[in-house]
Structure 1
Amino acid sequence: MTGEVVSRATALKGASIILKPARQGSFIFDLLVLIEANPATTSAAVALGAAPFYDFIKTAFKRATGALDAEPETAHLQQVYNRKEPPPLKKPPADLDELAETLEGCLQAAHRPIGAEGTIETITIGSPRQNLIEFDEDTKDWVNTRDEAVGLEVLRGNVTRYNALSRNGRAFVDQLERVVPVRPDGDFPAGDLAFLTWSLHGSNIGAASKIDMRARRITSASGKVKRLLLSDCQKAPLD
């Protein structure tokens, strides 16, 4: 609705989320979401439509539990998260990687009944017609682990997405052979931000734009890289 990432229930405005008691004799809970038509929404039709809401839940939770390539499928969400410039007098929406990182901590409690601490193998979220997301021991491992490497390593790749406001981005890393979320760390020189945008521009036009990134890995218990914290970067020498 607002394009902002919030982490306090009291910050929710223009909407209500109600969790009904579990159905008798089961562990099924009904979640009611009431969204009001207000200036924060594009239109009353979009605000009250089920498809964008379901798509948002599915995409956000998938990214937060390890499916890093999950993308919105509905036209409305694609427009919200892919637009380049914000409308006048409005802030641009937070990117999905920022949202996923915030959700990781919140989803730890949601996964607590799964596995060793409980007797439940899976938890599913969805509508009567479709299953949006399933939590299991693999997703529990993902949200509960944030191991940060002590040392720095040099990784080569090219930026495929970058949000200048949040400074969250994505890069295809040659050594990992896949796209991973990246973010400048606290010691990242401001002058090196230009290399990130240069690499992104080259990726968009198909030009050579690889950069060498000194980074720390954030990994899950299974060793999968969740994101990279960048210490600095520079243009990679041409081969």
Structure 2
Amino acid sequence: MAELKIKYQYEHGVADAGKLELYDAAVALRGISRASAIITHAFINGEVRTRGDAAEGAKFYINSPKRGSFIYEASIWFAGAVSSGVFYDFIKYGFNEAVGKFNNDEYYKKLNERIEPTIGELPAVLESPLDEIHRPIRQEKEIKLTVMRPRGEKLAVFDSETALYLQPQTVPAPHEISGNVTKYNSLTGWGKFYDLIERRTVSFNIDLKSSERQRSLITWSLHEHNMHRDGLLYLSANAVIAPTGKIKRYIVHNVSNTPFS
């Protein structure tokens, strides 16, 4: 079995004395457990589980907190061989995408092969455990958490700003949604949509019980995009919006190739 480790280092505030408030630490540790299981299962199996209580093909342990600030060290034992570089980059992608910090330019072929099956679903599912991980930060805003590889290379940094980003609201979309589908997983209903007004790609999810016509329009738009044609669609949806005002994703109710109004 292969072992890989991830360090979660809380700094500043009470953490600099090597301690955290007991309940905050317990909630944070539960978040670490859930986030680790969700992202590891997605990496190994190419699917996203929402519960985060286990990952098929891996076992998880927590090592004793270290001296100097407050450090949890998660130890993950894989049933088979694993590329450590791609795995750590996958964690970097998942954690940073969930808090709106990941740069798409950091994708490369092997990483993209791991991201592709999960599309926008993984960052959305990670929001809940990452919110728990932020519990000490919510209670004491000067605390910062750095997620690291064993030798200290940073994978993600969480602070009071990322804590805010993890508390979005779901509201009716603030503007007409038009554009084209750039990625879509017909097995999960998750995809990516280039929004002409936002001028960027936004994740979306459509209920798998939607009509065949609805889903066929999505695959049509994706095909047109792949053929370098417009594939213009209009979406009726709710928007999940961060407190910063940024749209994180769309929850789609209706799809049309003509404007709704």
What is the TM-score with the length of structure 2 in the denominator?
A: 0.73
Which whole-Å CA distance do the structure 1 matches of 2:189 and 2:234 have between them? Answer: 18
| Matched letter for residue 24 of structure 1 | R
Aligned equivalent of 2:158, options 135, 154, 157: 135
* Contact persistence 2:188–2:208 (CA under 8 A): no
The number of equivalent residue pairs is 215
RMSD: 2.4
2:90·2:114 contact (CA, 8 Å) conserved in 1?
no
Aligned residue in 1 for 2:99: 65
Aligned to 1:109, the other structure's residue is in SS state helix
- Residue 28 of structure 1 aligns to a residue whose secondary structure is strand
Partner-residue secondary structure (3-state), 2:177:
strand
The 3 A distance-change label for structure 1 pair 9 and 195 is closer
State the alpha-carbon separation in 2 of the partners of residues 79 and 151 from structure 1. Answer: 31
TM superposition shift of 1:72: 6.7
Provide the rounded CA distance (Å) in 2 between the counterparts of 1:5 and 1:186. Answer: 16
More helix by proportion, 1 or 2? 2
The answer (yes or no) to whether the contact 2:90–2:111 under 8 Å persists in 1 is yes
Q: What is the match of residue 59 of structure 2?
A: 16
In structure 2, what is the equivalent of residue 219 of structure 1? 241
- What is residue 123 of structure 2 aligned with on the other side? 100
**Partner Cα distance (1:8, 1:189) in 2:** 28
Q: Which residue does 1:231 correspond to in 2?
A: 253
Taking only the aligned residue pairs, the percentage that are identical comes to: 28
Q: Work out whether 1:54 is the aligned partner of 2:77.
A: no
In the alignment, the residues of structure 1 paired with residue 104 and residue 70 of structure 2 have an alpha-carbon distance, to the nearest angstrom, of 28
1:16–1:134 CA distance, 2 compared to 1 (3 A): same
TM-score normalized by the length of structure 1: 0.80
Identify unmatched segments of 5+ residues in structure 1.
Answer: 38-43, 83-92
Deviations 1:86-141 (A, max 9, x none): xxxxxxx4x141111111011111011114x1254321101224111111222211
Task: Write 1 or 2 for the structure with the bigger share of strand.
Answer: 2
- Matched residue type, 2:87: F
1:13 shift after superposition: 3.5
The reply to whether residue 171 of structure 1 matches residue 171 of structure 2 is no
After superposing the two structures, state which structure 1 stretch, 70-79 or 203-212, moved more: 70-79
Q: Which one scores higher on RCO, CA 8 angstroms, separation ≥ 6?
A: 2
Q: 1:78 to 1:132 in 2, by over 3 A?
A: same
Distance 1:71 1:28 in 2: 30
Q: 1:34 aligns with which of 73, 77, 80?
A: 77
Partners of 2:232 and 2:125 in 1: CA distance: 29
